[in-house]
Amino acid sequence: MTTAIEARGLHYRASPEFAIEDLSLSVPAGALYGFLGPNGCGKTTTIRLLLGLLRADAGTIRLLEQPVPGGLPVALARTGVMPDRPHLHRYLTVAETLGFHRAFYPGWDARWAAELLGEFRLIRGQKVASLSKGESAKLTLLLALCQTPDLLVLDEPMDGLDPVVRRDVLAALLDYVSRRGATVFVSSHLVHELERFCDWVGVMDRGRLVVELPMAEFRNGIKRIRVVTADSAALADPPFTLLARERDGGAAETWVVRGWRPEMGRWLTGASVEVREVTDLDLEDGFVELLRAFRTGSGT
């Protein structure tokens, strides 16, 4: 399996209080990779490191098999980016922005750009400075898509957008991915936003990558289990990760586990634990439990 983005052992000190520490991630080519994490956890800093906007203190990065920063121009020629905040030249009109941008991308799809302008209801003569937040996001996405990239890096693309614009942006994105088979790396702090279309997920917190796994595994592997155990200390070396454990009174306990499979019930029976109920956690609850476990140091 080839990788679109590969980072190994990244370290970056952003301030005395915050650092990216030993971050390694691997985005398979063709994946729709959701990069999840609470606000301020380091998602944007990580994206800036991956795109060469910041220089890592240590570690290696490969973007579309090109080393960063050495091979950046080659990699960026095949990468469409939607940064977290507006970055376009404000004094240009929409048409002038398109004209400037296309000069740098030989693969620019002018026909599709014209179509998207119509679909996004963007006015050619309107100044970038006067675009609303939604229009600005649509223009940025249009620029990223029409350069026909193999990789799209989107930093909180839906943040602050109204539902109509969200739908337009998502539709254009999915349309492109289905036609081109491009890799998408999209960050968000909203779990449900990524749940619908991502097939891989990486969860970040406090400058570290907590977990990276296929979305299906993330979705199905985190359960809430109600158990009755005679000896609460008896659970040694379980075949799953115990993310949280609460006493419900008496011998009853509620566990949140990751990596659960039905056959593990037998292992619990052997450990004198009776499973009363297994409940699927929705992605958001799973995400919250995962972060809670990471912060208390009880899960990995």
Partner 1 sequence: MLTAMIRIQWKGCRHLVTALAVAAFGLPIASVAAGWHASATSLPRFLSELELWGLLYPGLAAVAALALGTAIWASDRRGHHVYALLLPVARWRYVLLRFAAGLVLLVPVILALWAGAVAATAAIDLPPGLRIFPHALTVKFGLALLLLFSACFAAAAASGRTLGIAVRLLGLFLAVHVAVILLRPGVNLVWMLVSALASWPGPFAPLGGRWMLIDV
Distance of CA 294 to the CA centre of its chain: 18
* Least distance (Å) between residue 78 CB and partner 1: 8
Q: Is 172 in the site for partner 1 (CB under 8 A)?
A: no
| Smallest separation (angstroms) from partner 1 to the CB of 96 | 6
Nearest CB to partner 1, comparing residues 40 and 73: 73
Alpha carbon distances (Å) from 56 to 11, 25, 153, 222: 6, 14, 18, 33
Q: 5-20 burial by CB neighbour count: b if 16+ within 10 A, else e?
A: bbbeebebeeeeeebb
List the one residue from 13, 55, 89, 192 that touches partner 1 (CB under 8 A).
89
Q: Within 25-54, which residues bind partner 1 (CB under 8 A)?
A: 51-53
86 in contact with partner 1 (CB under 8 A): yes
For the bound state, the minimum distance from the C-beta of residue 86 to partner 1, rounded and expressed in Å, comes to 7
Pairing, β 200-205 against β 183-188: unpaired
Is 110 among the residues that bind partner 1 (CB under 8 A)? no
Does residue number 96 form part of the binding site for partner 1 (CB under 8 A)? Answer: yes
Q: What is the DSSP string of 27-56?
A: EETT-EEEEE--TTSSHHHHHHHHTTSS--
- Residue 205 sits at φ, ψ, to 5 deg, of -155, 135
What whole-number distance in Å separates Cα of residue 132 and Cα of residue 153? 22
Of 76 and 209, nearer to partner 1 (C-beta) is: 76
- Tell me which of 2, 57, 60, 90 binds partner 1, using CB under 8 A: 90
Residue with tokens 């476990």: 293
Q: Which of 14, 29, 92, 174 binds partner 1 (CB under 8 A)?
A: 92
Interacting residue with partner 1 among 103, 164, 233, 236 (CB under 8 A)? 103
Instruction: Find the shortest distance in angstroms from Cβ 85 to partner 1.
Output: 8
Out of 16, 17, 91, 263, the only residue in the binding site for partner 1 (CB under 8 A) is: 91
- CA pair distance 151, 29, nearest whole angstrom: 8
Q: Of the two residues 9 and 160, which places its CB atom closer to partner 1 in the complex?
A: 160
- Of the candidate spans 99-107, 159-167, 206-214, 272-280, the one that interacts with partner 1 by CB under 8 A turns out to be 99-107
Q: Which of 2, 40, 57, 87 binds partner 1 (CB under 8 A)?
A: 87
Q: Which is nearer to partner 1, 96 or 280 (CB)?
A: 96
Any idea what the Cα angle at residue 133 is, between residues 193 and 149, rounded to 5°?
65
Q: Indicate the length of the chain as a whole number.
A: 300
Class of residue 185 by CB neighbours under 10 A (exposed 0-12, middle 13-18, buried 19+): buried
Instruction: Report whether 49 contacts 20 (CB < 8 A).
Output: yes
Chain contacts with partner 1 (rule: CB under 8 A): 51-53, 72-74, 76-77, 81, 83, 86-92, 96, 99-100, 103-105
